[in-house]
Structure 1
């Protein structure tokens, strides 16, 4: 598929790992209106591709993402001839549409692993906080910048970030808008690991993705689904949900293949999704 703001690569063509790149480097990969249309479409196409097991999200150019494009923001919040009630209802629908584009990461069955370099600001934090695993290079820096623009972050950061870095850290970052280095991001749990350079980041994340891609795809998608669902459940509810999930999904051939491969001391071979 051809996109204006994204680039999809799969090397070799049938590789289980697919790279999804933000591809608007002249604007530091700012998220414009085209992105919010294209991004969920790209994720859906990768989710439905039986050859894809892991998605690596990254940015082309010097920065991962500089946030929402100012022109796009202005077009949404611009004046309208509608009355106040209708204008508010329209704005709410527009915001919900942008939110859906970010939530598409969680709705994708395949894990989305993000490799962050350079700036990750505003809407970039919305993106990475929805991803399943986060890694960055030493030059990466992060900022929940909306407060400096007179906005309340509304695309998921305030809902997802506290679950990742803890409520206290999230409050401090969201209210100050201050810059966080890659090292501090690791300390507070925003990323799992910091690599010295962009090349080491890309190579390291690729190696991690290859390790996951070699595992049972049924186990991988099940683990993502149960983790996301259990996030909003009590322990008892989460246990009941995973029991229901496994009562169906354990009937796949992946469990048998895993056991046989271990007994025969070989690598397992799993069917495509």
Structure 2
């Protein structure tokens, strides 16, 4: 084999190896990742023996998972569900004890204790915010109890479905604290009913599936966990057939519009489309729409 051919063979092998590794799904301790549909990733919370309580590692893995999926080319939509009878029972009480050890450390100055606690809170907040910042739509499929930090988590998703046995509880006041990882900031904007929102946050009472549907926290409910996950995957698969440029731009602009005045939001989407209307995805989608009788689907390149 001559030198040029040898170099070419080595380069090709290395390139295939790199591409394969770059496109593989990572492994986690408390999260399972799978790809049951084309361009759909299923994220499963997997600590059922602890009712999916969030310890520090679990919390960190959620952030790492969604950061990875943000740039994973084979992913265009995400379903988030949980193994076991409880979607998430909130923060692990062992980690809560860690907070207490910082708060009541008499050897440390109060300002230094405060800065240490704030740093931890910011890490937890940032972990859940990765769902919101992930450009791919996230569908939360909630079964069983969803408590405390679990509610914080689903509030950062784009779409929420639940099973008939689901219940939701903002429990933080029962442990002497205000919810601090997103529920108080996101849930009022999701549902628009501040009176009921405050009742739930002040009393820590449970809200069951039917009320959650009426309230607008979820927009569909299903009779079983299996049906919930299957229907969520089907919706994700439908989203994944659309132009990723269009879908991700839509999520970006919806999030921007939620937090900004209408005029600012119109300016933002104009800036987006001045670039993205030049994408080949527009022509591909238009051709399919024009030739609808052929019943063909557009194929979009990886983004």
TM-score normalised by the chain length of structure 1: 0.97
| CA-CA distance at 1:264 after TM superposition | 2.6
Number of aligned residue pairs: 271
> 2:93 — aligned with what?
70
Runs of 4+ in structure 1 deviating by more than 6 angstroms, as ranges, are none
Are positions 1:210 and 2:237 aligned together?
Answer: yes
SS of alignment partner, residue 78 of structure 2: strand
> 1:8 — aligned with what?
33
| 1:10-62 residue CA offsets vs partner (Å, 9 max, x unmatched) | 136xx211011111000110111001211111111111111100010011111
Query: 281, 287, 296: which is aligned to 1:254?
Result: 281
1:162–1:169: 8 Å Cα contact kept in structure 2?
no
Deviates more, 1:137-146 or 1:258-267: 258-267
SS of alignment partner, residue 136 of structure 1: strand
> 1:269 — aligned with what?
299
Structure 2 Cα separation of the partners of residues 169 and 193 of structure 1: 20
| CA-CA distance at 1:9 after TM superposition | 0.8
CA RMSD of aligned residues (A): 1.0
> 2:269 — aligned with what?
242
> 2:111 — aligned with what?
85
SS of alignment partner, residue 11 of structure 1: strand
> 1:130 — aligned with what?
156
Structure 1 Cα separation of the partners of residues 132 and 146 of structure 2: 19
| 1:176-233 residue CA offsets vs partner (Å, 9 max, x unmatched) | 1101110100000000101111111111111111111111111110111001111111
1:109-188 alignment runs, 5 A limit: 109-166=135-192, 167-188=194-215
> 2:227 — aligned with what?
200
SS of alignment partner, residue 36 of structure 2: coil
Query: 13, 18, 25: which is aligned to 2:48?
Result: 25
Are positions 1:102 and 2:128 aligned together?
Answer: yes
Structure 2 Cα separation of the partners of residues 184 and 224 of structure 1: 27
Deviates more, 1:171-180 or 1:73-82: 73-82
| 1:217-257 residue CA offsets vs partner (Å, 9 max, x unmatched) | 11110111001111111111111111111111222111100
| CA-CA distance at 1:165 after TM superposition | 1.8
| CA-CA distance at 1:67 after TM superposition | 0.5
Unaligned runs of 5+ in 2: 1-25
SS of alignment partner, residue 114 of structure 1: strand
Structure 1 Cα separation of the partners of residues 71 and 297 of structure 2: 25
Structure 2 Cα separation of the partners of residues 233 and 120 of structure 1: 30
Larger Rg: 2
1:77–1:91: 8 Å Cα contact kept in structure 2?
no
> 1:40 — aligned with what?
63
1:138–1:183: 8 Å Cα contact kept in structure 2?
yes
SS of alignment partner, residue 57 of structure 2: helix
